[in-house]
Structure formats: C-alpha cells, structure tokens
A = this chain, B = another copy of it.
C-alpha cells in the first residue's frame, strides 16, 4: 500500500536523493529543494513551504511534493517541486501526492494552484500528467530557462467545499 504523509526531518536525505535520481534536475535545483526543506523543517511557525511524501509500507519514501502560498497573491499557491523515484514511477504516486496537496490547499482556503515547468521534451510526461489532473498549461515565456527551454505555467482553479461541483 502507498500512503501520503507530511515530510519530517528523517526524510531530508531521501528527498534530496530522489531529486537527484529523477535525472531532469540540475545541482542548482537540488540546492533549491534543500533550501526549502531547511525552512520547512527548521524555521518555527513558517508558512512558506510545505512538503508531503508518498511512501510504500511500512514507511519507505518514494516521492515528494513541495508547495506554498505564492507571495503577493490572494489565495494562490505554488506547487514548487514534484519528484518520484524512477523505480516507483508509473504507479500513480505523483497523482496521489497532487490530490493530497489539493485537499490540504482546499482546507487552507486556497483558490488557485499554479506550477511552473519546462517546455522541453524531457518534461513532456510531466506536462501530460498535469493536464490529466485538470491543469491548463500556457507557454508564458519562450526560451526562459535557456534557449529552446520555455517557461510553461499550469494553473487549476480549486472548487470550494460544499458547492457540489
């Protein structure tokens, strides 16, 4: 069985290991994830970053997601990172992580989720998954990350609890 829980200190190393293992992230990306983890784990009362992990029983971390409120917006949240270890891909863990994050965000009163990704072919499977999960993607800036690597921003409006839609 797979389950999702909030990340804890003991997950730090495996989260970074998974980020490296995925193969699409640069060392700068890994450093950025580590910086967010530092805030999430050690800054008291912080409300910037949240981490969830997806685990196989009894408690083996296979993937994670990080999200938080987008600065200067009202009710918009960013999905900052999502990664599933290569051996566990294709089993729906990314979807589980997203659905749990969306649940948490609906409870927190979130209105909109956005996520930034790359337009390269390496990221095509990720983009296809975001679409299946109901996100709409737009090419926001051509050649953003580097020449030939566009910034694609996906967004999804959250439904309020109890509205029945």
What residues make up the interface of A, taking CB atoms closer than 8 Å to B?
A: 26, 28-29, 32, 70-76, 111-112, 114, 138-147, 151, 153, 155, 157
Q: Report B-chain residues with C-beta under 8 Å of the C-beta of A147.
A: 111
5 A-B pairs whose Cβ atoms sit less than 8 Å apart in the complex = A73-B146, A76-B141, A114-B141, A114-B144, A138-B141
Q: Is the interface of A mostly helix, strand, loop or mixed?
A: strand
With A32-B71, A114-B141, A138-B139 known, 6 other A-B pairs at CB within 8 A are A29-B72, A70-B144, A72-B145, A76-B145, A112-B143, A112-B144
Residues of B within 8 A of A74 (CB): 145-146
Provide the residues of chain B in CB contact with A142, threshold 8 Å: 155
